[in-house]
Amino acid sequence: MKFLSYWHDTAPAFAGAAQGPVEGRFDVAVIGGGFTGLGAALQLAKAGAKVVVLEAEKVGWGASGRNGGHLNNGLAHSYLAAKVELGRERAIALYKALDDSIDTLEALIAEEGIDCNFRRAGKLKLASKPQHFDAIARNFEAVHAEVDPDTALLSAYDLKQEVGAPFFGAMLSKKSAVMHMGRYVVGLAEAAQRHGAMIFEQAAVTEHRQAGRRHHLKTPRGGVTADAVLVATGAYTPSIFGYFRRRIIAVGSFIIATRPLAEAEIAATMPGNRTCVTSMNIGNYFRLSPDNRLIFGGRARFSATSDQRSDAKSGAILQASLAEIFPQLANVEIDYCWGGLVDMTKDRFPRAGYHDGVWYAMGYSGHGAQLSTHLGMIMADAILDRSDRNPLKGLEWPAVPGHFGKPWFLPFVGMYYKMLDRIQ
């Protein structure tokens, strides 16, 4: 078993990182070389802006290269609840932004010739309990009537053609897609560089200072100045940006990948070849990889640590969950086990905008793979003073009480959700 991301291990390395000292004057400095930052950099460079990307590790090192590989359209949680919390207009706008994000990815991948196995697969929100199907059905009725007719409600009988495990029905979101995350992020970085962006790896930002209209950013390799700064670091946001650290809860998300499955195993496990998410609060998500591995993840442990020891503990929990859902794969070999940090917000809605001199986009709450490139491009347009398409503009973002960067309260949150899963 390899304790590293399948996406990292099976993608080519990005060969276009700038060499030498970090220096220069730029129109825009983007902090973070993931989907958000690279999407913004590409959009800015195509518009003729002089842009630099400062990445602490390697492009795609954070959440962009450590996720489950789902590109799910629509809201991550209940549309009905979103209408109550956000209001109908903003809930619809955010839902449509997630729909548009899949179209953006499809168009960008085609335009830039990125080889990343993009495919419209459709997503199944699977009811783990009978009462969960009732809630899914109510949500489906509202979604289907008000915002997304490309959805369907499937019975337990219908699911026999989709998933080789007993669930009580599902909502199918037909626009959802999949891709190889590692190949995509490298292709996105290559596209940004090809259009003129300068990308520095191993260039963690250690100091930010603003003097008038100029921003000064320091790294261990030198520093740059820029007219505008976009912070696109999510759960990996450095401590110098305390405003975001008090509002982002870094939560570990953990994933395993099996050996490549035989055709008979696929037919017995994932005949529909879609993305799947269960309805439990501490649930699981799974899909097939381009080489037919089952990629199976979840919030196995409520921890803000992701290293080999932590990942191994979580991997064992995920293997047990895999065997429970798919007994036919109970003894299948696990080739990869990895983890990463997810940038959660208290209400699980993302945030993007402008605060105290810097632009930002983050807080995807475990569902950023689909939205992040699109939102990065939207923020680039805002920086360029183009039409404002930000579906999150003006959304209040209070700090989490008692939170200053290290989420000490995660074990209590985990206990609460476990209790909910037992009684609901």
The residue ranges of every structural domain in the chain are 6-383
Query: Dihedral of CA 383/386/389/392: which sign?
Result: positive
Mean pLDDT to the nearest integer, 232-254: 93
Q: By three-state DSSP, how is residue 289 classified?
A: coil
Q: Which residues contact 96 (CB under 8 A, 6 or more apart)?
A: 147, 391
End-to-end CA separation in angstroms for the chain? 36
Instruction: Specify which residues 25 forms β-bridges with.
Output: 225
pLDDT digits (tens, 9 = 90+) for 35-52: 999 999 999 999 999 999
More confident residue, 421 or 101: 101
* 303 pLDDT above the threshold of 60: no
Residue 313 confidence (pLDDT): 81
Taking alpha carbons only, the member of 86, 64, 181, 178 closest to residue 124 is 178
Q: Which two three-digit tokens encode residue 349?
A: 């809605």
Residue 252 confidence (pLDDT): 82
Q: How far is CA 393 from CA 85, 205, 282, 357, 396, in A?
A: 15, 26, 30, 15, 9
Q: Are 398 and 259 in contact (CB under 8 A)?
A: no
Residue 420 confidence (pLDDT): 52
Long-range CB pairs of 159-162, under 8 A, 24+ apart, other chains included: 159/124, 159/126, 161/271, 161/272, 162/124, 162/271, 162/272, 162/274
Q: Are 227 and 269 in contact (CB under 8 A)?
A: no
Q: What is the mean pLDDT of the chain?
A: 92
**pLDDT cut 90: percent of the chain above it:** 83
Identify the band that residue 417 occupies on the pLDDT scale cut at 50, 70 and 90: very low
Single-letter residue type at 392: L
Residue 308 confidence (pLDDT): 66
Length of the chain measured in residues: 424
Q: Are 150 and 117 in contact (CB under 8 A)?
A: no
Residue 416 confidence (pLDDT): 42
Q: What is the pTM of this model?
A: 0.94
Single-letter residue type at 27: D
Residue 333 confidence (pLDDT): 98
If one counts every other C-beta atom within 10 angstroms of the C-beta of residue 341, the result is 21
Please state, in angstroms and rounded to a whole number, the distance separating the CA atoms of residues 416 and 371: 28
Q: What is the CATH number of domain 6-383?
A: 3.50.50.60
